[in-house]
Amino acid sequence: MAELKTKQTTADVHEFINAFANTEQKKADSLELLKLMQDFTGYEPKMWGPSIIGFGVYHYKSERSRQEGDWPLVGFSPRKDAISLYVYSGNPEHSHLLEGLGKFKMGKACIYVKKLSDINTEVLNKLMKASIDFLEARYGKYQH
């Protein structure tokens, strides 16, 4: 079984944002997302791998393979073309929660937004709550 490449690190989140966010808008949006997600989840932001900022942790076991590991409950990354939001469970029953989010594109495992002002942060909070509730119900609360 291959070892997971994306793991929680001790890298500084603010240093990452200042070095990685390629525009002032993306930097400002990243700092706002940092506060929004930390306030909403109650978790300190942590770096996951070289480019994902995550909040909270869950331990998963794949149903299709022997892979298992830890992953943030929610998170984001200020990527070059867009901000990747890791806030959606992908559960078909949650698709209605995307209504009213605003201007975004869907990826396989994330939502892409050009700028934070393109989306409704109240809807983002509902997405985060549904994802966290879904993940904790499925995998249990993380025990350190």
Q: What is the 3-state secondary structure (H, E, C) of the chain?
A: CCCCCCCECCCCHHHHHHHHCCCHHHHHHHHHHHHHHHHHHCCCEEEECCCEEEECCEEEECCCCCCEEEECCEEEEECCCCEEEECCCCCHHHHHHHCCCECCEECCCCEEECCHHHECHHHHHHHHHHHHHHHHHHHCCCCC
Asked whether residue 1 carries a pLDDT value surpassing 50, the answer given is no
Domains of the chain: 13-139 (3.90.1150)
| pLDDT (tens digit per residue) in 14-35 | 999 999 999 999 999 999 999 9
Is the pLDDT score of 4 beyond 70? no
Res. 144 pLDDT band, cuts 50 70 90: low
pLDDT tens-place string over residues 67-90: 788 999 999 999 999 999 999 888
